[in-house]
């Protein structure tokens, strides 16, 4: 079955880079996503990467995909206090039920 | 910006009451989903639909039911709410034309007392 794992907590100082890691087990995943959730809010899609890509950059966000190791990471450059939130990694398989499977979320705390 | 709306955003009701959480999207997406999330925890799929008159149960067993009579509307109903149903319920939608990117509503916070 599908399984997505993330570390639970990350603390960084404002201005530093943050790297949030994720591992998944489903080798048929076609899209892998990063969502951001602020307290009391829904999920905001940050970025996604197609499984045939190694890297995607979007302003301060860089996504790296190592398909061999089934490892996905999200790097946030110049982290700001407004980046404090929970970040969820999610994947969607190529076959069968095409619904997202989420990791447990990484709580990012940015210290001023 | 995703056009997917959930109502109510916050609801406190008594045990045994029937409630319906509404979800509507104006993007013409064929696929819709309901996820349940306890505060700060991971999301669990409870229902999904691939189109009108299509509904399936997700990974997490839920006493709720759903219907999909119209493409844009995917309501979730609890016939008799219990305190164990207290949670956040997130509705989402997607379509192949948008790369199957899944867009979420703001969520409905349900508290059963």
Q: Mind listing the pLDDT tens digit for each residue in A20-41?
A: 999 988 777 778 999 999 987 8
What mean pLDDT do residues B64-82 have?
96
pLDDT in tens, B23-59: 999 999 999 999 999 987 888 999 999 999 999 998 8
pLDDT greater at residue B97 or residue A74? A74
Partner-chain contact A105 B41, CB within 8 Å: yes
**Residue A34 at interface with chain B, using a CB cutoff of 8 Å:** no
CA-closest candidate to residue B89, choices B27, B24, B38, B54: B38
Residue A50 confidence (pLDDT): 87
Residue B25 confidence (pLDDT): 96
Partner-chain contact A97 B48, CB within 8 Å: yes
State the DSSP H helix or E strand holding residue B60, giving kind and residue range, or none if neither. Answer: none
Mutation target vs B (from A88, A100, A105, A109; most B CBs, 10 A cutoff): A100
Q: Give the minimum alpha-carbon distance from B56 to chain A in angstroms, rounded to a whole number.
A: 10
Q: How far is CA A99 from CA A15, A59, A65, A92, in A?
A: 35, 28, 20, 6
Would you say residue A92 has pLDDT above 90? no
**Residue B109 at interface with chain A, using a CB cutoff of 8 Å:** yes
Would you say residue A1 has pLDDT above 50? no
Q: Give the minimum alpha-carbon distance from B4 to chain A in angstroms, rounded to a whole number.
A: 11
Chain A hits for B43, Cβ within 8 Å? 43, 88, 100, 102
CA distance B110 to B68: 21
Would you say residue B109 has pLDDT above 80? yes
pLDDT greater at residue B105 or residue B97? B105
Q: Is B107 helix (H, G, I), strand (E, B) or coil?
A: coil
Q: Give the minimum alpha-carbon distance from A57 to chain B in angstroms, rounded to a whole number.
A: 17
Residue A97 confidence (pLDDT): 66
List, in order, residues 6 or more apart from B12 with CB less than 8 Å away: B111, B112, B113
Residue B56: both structure tokens together: 């399936």
| From A87-96, B36-45, B88-97, the region with the lowest mean pLDDT | A87-96
CA-closest candidate to residue A103, choices A21, A45, A46: A21
Report chain B's mean pLDDT, rounded to a whole number: 92
- Considering Cα of A85, then B31, then B108, then B16, what sign does the dihedral take? negative
**Residue A87 at interface with chain B, using a CB cutoff of 8 Å:** no
Would you say residue A52 has pLDDT above 50? yes
What mean pLDDT do residues B54-72 have?
92
């Amino acid at each position: 079955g599908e399984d997505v794992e993330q570390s639970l907590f990350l603390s960084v100082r404002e201005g530093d880079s943050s790297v949030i890691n994720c591992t998944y087990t489903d080798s048929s995943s076609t899209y892998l996503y990063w969502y951001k959730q602020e307290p009391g809010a829904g999920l905001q899609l940050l970025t996604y990467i197609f499984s045939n890509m190694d890297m995607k950059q979007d302003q301060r966000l860089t996504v790296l995909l190592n398909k061999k190791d089934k490892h996905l990471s999200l790097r946030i450059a110049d982290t700001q206090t407004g980046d404090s939130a929970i970040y969820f990694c999610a994947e969607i398989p190529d076959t069968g039920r095409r619904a997202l499977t989420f990791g447990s979320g990484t709580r990012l705390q940015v210290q001023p | 910006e995703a056009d997917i709306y959930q109502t109510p955003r916050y609801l406190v009701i008594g045990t045994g009451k029937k409630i319906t959480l509404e979800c509507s999207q104006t993007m013409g997406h064929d696929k819709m989903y309901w996820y349940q999330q306890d505060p700060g925890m991971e999301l669990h799929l409870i229902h999904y639909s691939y189109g009108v008159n299509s509904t399936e149960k997700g990974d997490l067993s839920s006493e709720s039911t759903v219907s999909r009579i119209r493409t844009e509307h995917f309501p979730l109903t609890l016939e008799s709410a219990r305190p164990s149903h207290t949670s956040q319920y997130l509705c989402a939608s997607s379509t192949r034309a948008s790369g199957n990117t899944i867009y979420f509503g703001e969520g409905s916070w349900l508290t059963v007392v």
